[in-house]
Amino acid sequence: MTTARAPRPKVAVVTFPGSNDDRDAVHALGLLGADGLPVWHADEDLPAVDAVVLPGGFSYGDYLRCGAIARFAPVMEAVARFAADGGPVLGICNGFQVLCEAGLLPGVLRPNASLSFVCRDVPLVVENADTPFTSRCEPGQRLVIPIKHGEGCWTYPEAELTALEAAGQVILRYEHDANPNGSLSNVAGVTNATGNVMGLMPHPEHAVDPLLGSTDGGLILGSLVDAARARMAVAA
């Protein structure tokens, strides 16, 4: 997978007040051959980076709706500019919620249908492997990655879902009988129309070390590192 000699791209990892997976994301990116750069939510600019990760957590206490306040953080304007420029942006869990509220991803995350916080490994199916976030996966590949959330029920106008699916924007689904939160059509991860912004509820950064079970998260984050490295090569 990663070679020691491959150039190490830089990936910004944004910390909002209440983020709690930011250090895990930096650690995982490091294992996968990138340098994770912590970025504070109040920063108005991003450092020179090749990708951005919005990590999991409970930004601003999830007040009002999860992600609704964080989208107004100063750094989010810089993230939106980076995304508009084609830069790869990955939102994990709370990061997914923030990107939806910011209008950078379709849909919105609502409380789990069970109303219970769910914390366990879930089986996923890769629906589209032709993205900067799944290039190390095969179409239809089964991944096992943990989730831990209370508000992961992805919701979208049902009549418009077919168009989203036809455009290849549904990237990950929960396995048929293993939907943990009631999301529409078992959706676990989606991209924007241009394919360079993705959000997912599972936590790939918690599945990169065999000591903790699955290493399937490395396929997602490793794909992102590859995309970041490609962007770095173009910029150079």
x-or-dash string of contact with another protein, 1-40, rule CB under 8 A: ----------------------------------------
**Three-class DSSP category at 60:** helix
Work out whether 195 is an interface residue with another protein (CB under 8 A): no
In the numeric block, the tokens 């036809």 are attached to 166
Q: By the 8 A CB rule, do 104 and 137 touch?
A: no
For residue 119, indicate whether it is catalytic. Answer: no
The one-letter amino acid code at 120 reads: R
Nearer to another protein, 31 or 184 (CB): 184
Q: Report residue 153 as tokens.
A: 């029920």
Quote the CA–CA distance of 127 and 211 in Å, as a whole number: 28
Give min distance, CB of 156 to another protein, in A: 7
Give counts: helices (H), strands (E), the chain: 5, 11
Q: Report residue 167 as tokens.
A: 């455009």
Work out whether 80 is an interface residue with another protein (CB under 8 A): no
Q: By the 8 A CB rule, do 201 and 171 touch?
A: no
For residue 27, indicate whether it is catalytic. Answer: no
Give min distance, CB of 150 to another protein, in A: 11
User: Given the rule CB under 8 A, which of 18-26, 128-136, 150-158, 167-175 is the region that contacts another protein?
Assistant: 150-158
Work out whether 113 is an interface residue with another protein (CB under 8 A): yes
Q: Are strands 89-92 and 197-200 parallel, antiparallel or unpaired?
A: parallel
In the set 51, 68, 92, 221, which binds another protein (CB under 8 A)? 68
Q: Which is the catalytic residue, given 66, 100, 149, 203?
A: 203
Beta bridge partners of 118: 149
In the set 59, 94, 112, 186, which binds another protein (CB under 8 A)? 112
Quote the CA–CA distance of 180 and 186 in Å, as a whole number: 9
> How many residues can be counted in the chain?
236
Give min distance, CB of 149 to another protein, in A: 14
Interface ranges with another protein (CB under 8 A) = 64-65, 68, 72, 101, 107-108, 110-115, 155-157, 182
Active-site positions read: 93, 203, 205
